[in-house]
Amino acid sequence: MTGSDSAIPLVRLNGISKHFGEGETRVDALREVSLEVFPRQVVALLGPSGSGKTTLLNVIGCILDPSAGSMELDGELVLHDARWQRGDLRRLRLDKIGFIFQYHNLLPFLDATDNVAVVLQLAGVDIAAARKRAVELLDYLEVGHRKSAMPSKLSGGEAQRVAIARALANSPRIILADEPTAALDSRRAGIVMDLLRKLAVERDAAIIAVTHDEKIFDRFDRIFRLRDGRLE
């Protein structure tokens, strides 16, 4: 475990449950999940299809309303008894959370710089400052030489680095990754995981990744296993 037991968790879940439907059609996707993730930790969510991994990631990302439970993010109580404690969840996501997906989902009509800068502009940063910050992040992730390239001209590894830069644009301390290496070969997957490790340590952040990718299991500090919506 990389994080200190005495540190304040960046993510704390208490009794998170989520069901879909009612009566005979009810499906319990999550069942009383409680966990803590500390600064500088890179953790994995593992489990078979339908175990609740992506549902849990979407609850942590304040995208999906849980049916029960409470949650703290970066020391703030954001969910209590399944009720959001903030009215503007979009702002909460912008302030606290970065998202990385299996496929980079870069906007095809914007170059690498503007794909990163657009997130900052959504947060109210003026375009010149946003583009400057974007270039700094691309340089940090060693893809600054591709700052003017369109997504269609980027390799898979380059596009994923741009996507990581976009996730870091607003300096979130919680980064959620959904199968971040599934579309990459072993070498590029290792590079991406080393980058995530670097980010966790240098930015005092927590990385939570849903993965089936066995070639990166040794890169995690902790592994949480889900089965039928419960932590094993």
Instruction: Calculate the alpha carbon distances from 98 to 9, 58, 82, 176, 205 in Å.
Output: 17, 12, 22, 6, 10
Pairing of strands 27-37, 76-80: unpaired
The conformation of residue 218, written as its DSSP 8-state character, comes to G
Instruction: Calculate the alpha carbon distances from 79 to 57, 62, 201, 218 in Å.
Output: 15, 9, 27, 32
Tokens at 103, concatenated: 């496929």
Q: What's residue 103's pLDDT? A: 72
Q: Which domains does the chain have, with CATH numbers?
A: 42-63+87-231 (3.40.50.300)
Q: What's residue 1's pLDDT? A: 42
pTM: 0.84
Contacts of 22 (CB under 8 A, 6+ apart): none
The answer to whether residues 190 and 222 touch, using CB atoms and an 8 Å cutoff, is no
One digit per residue, pLDDT tens: the chain, 232 residues?
444 444 789 999 999 999 998 888 888 899 999 999 999 999 999 988 888 899 999 999 999 999 999 999 999 999 999 999 988 898 888 888 988 887 778 999 999 999 999 989 988 899 999 999 999 999 988 899 999 999 999 988 888 889 988 988 888 899 999 888 777 778 778 887 888 888 889 889 999 999 887 778 888 999 999 999 998 8
Segment holding 92, helix H or strand E: helix 89-96
Q: Among all chains, which residue has been given the structure tokens 């930015």?
A: 203
The answer to whether residues 69 and 79 touch, using CB atoms and an 8 Å cutoff, is yes
Q: What's residue 219's pLDDT? A: 86
Q: What's residue 80's pLDDT? A: 95
Q: Is 105 exposed, middle or buried (0-12, 13-18, 19+ CB in 10 A)?
A: middle
